[in-house]
Amino acid sequence: MFSLNVLIAMLIVAYAAPHPAGETPTATGRVATLALLAGVGIANHHSIVLLAPVGIYGAVRNLAAARRRVLAVFIAIAAFVGGLSPYIYVVWITRSTPLDRGCVRGAARDLAGLLHHFLRAEYGTTRLGVSDAAPETLAQLAHLGGTLLRSGIGPLLLLAIIGWATSRPRWSWRVVVLVLSFVSAGPAFVAQFNLPPRGLSALVVERFHLLPLAIAAVVGSLGFSAVERRLRKRGVINVATALGGLAACTSLVVSGSTYPDTIELYLKNVFAMLPPRAILIASSDDQVGGFEYMQCALDARPDVDVISPHLLLTPWYAARVSARVGFEVVHGEPSPPRASPVLQSSRLVEQLLTSGRPLFITRWFAHGLEQRYASYPIGPVIRVVGDWSAVPSPRTLYDSNVELFNTLTLGPRPPRGSWSAARLADYGRTWTVLARALEETGAPELAADCRERAATFDAR
């Protein structure tokens, strides 16, 4: 959705801009296109509204040039409503999909549910995540600045602005609205984020940097064009500008490199090792969404039920999980004086253990659970059992994990601070836990071997 958001934003910029010389577009058609893009953009991602200065500028200019302005307004309204039509699909697919399929998020089965979905009521309409933390304004702005620098757009933008400012520029509304859109989509927007720009949360925040980066590139190109014109007048060939563009593109490619294989292989490895009819409690976004994709799009392991404890705070998800497992699952309930629902994590674990199905977790999702329930590491996950007597000996676990890891396919070592590094650490966690257990039971050689194995899963 973030890549599509940038594409729609750039199309809005293109249709709002003055048309090139020699082109005679229909003003009404451009207004209608801008309205359609606005509707589609909102249906895709709400942050597109931050481009309002550019969109309004383009709409006003073209409406002024339209021969039949009233007709142009009605056509634009129809186009905007048409752009919102994906919400019709949201209602249709929600109503037509059985709960036990587990492939539809939300409860947009009627107008009230659709409005709830549209307003992101579960997160808070103006909040980035479910958190009561206050925004760290300075940290967020510094993080955005770091993204601008790493992408290569920041330095080029600064040079372009300096070059443009020293060329005695004329007043231009198109530059003003672009700068306003950059400020609203960039500094003003990210300053409100309530997720800290650290750890994996930083990766969530950085997805919202794509839109201001795209606008910054457009603003910078205007200044860069002014610099190029000055270089031409002085007889400097265009190699300088070509090298500048090449440097920017190279920086974007390098900074945008990802390591998706590690996560994909992790998802496949976990599903391959789980016994029949297992229940897996997954906590991280990439795990919850990844396993959901594996089951819904690839039809993998339909016998396994993956449960997100955080989503159990929502009524629609609790109903969906209950329909899949065949009993009413413990879910979030209001706990006065707090108005927001609270999940009794220990009750959930007890209930799932009582079901008699094998229970696994990707990590402990509430404080104190690891001391209350018997468990042991197996592969990149943790097996939760009903009694400590069911926990195998450290030597048996060592042999079982050596045998299991020989069957797993592992990806490359990703950089620190990435989603892939977090998943790679799940493999290393098993060997770290076993090293301590073997050390305590008088097997130092095996403990040393476990530490060596754990070190191979450190991110670079």
CA distance 69 to 92: 35
Average pLDDT over the chain, rounded to whole? 87
Which pLDDT belongs to residue 431?
97
Per the DSSP assignment, residues forming a β-bridge with 280 are 306, 360
Which pLDDT belongs to residue 256?
47
Q: Where are the alpha helices (DSSP H) in 66-96?
A: 69-83, 86-96
> Which residues of the chain, if any, have pLDDT below 50?
22-23, 237, 252, 254-257
CA dihedral (174, 175, 179, 184) in degrees, to 10, reads: -10
Which pLDDT belongs to residue 102?
72
| pLDDT, tens digit, 9 for 90 and up, residues 72-130 | 999 999 999 999 999 999 999 998 888 877 788 888 888 888 998 888 877 777 777 76
Residue type, 418: S
Residue type, 257: S
Which pLDDT belongs to residue 379?
96
Which pLDDT belongs to residue 218?
87
Pairing of strands 381-385, 374-378: antiparallel
CA distance 53 to 57: 6
Instruction: Write down the pTM of the prediction.
Output: 0.82
Which pLDDT belongs to residue 238?
53
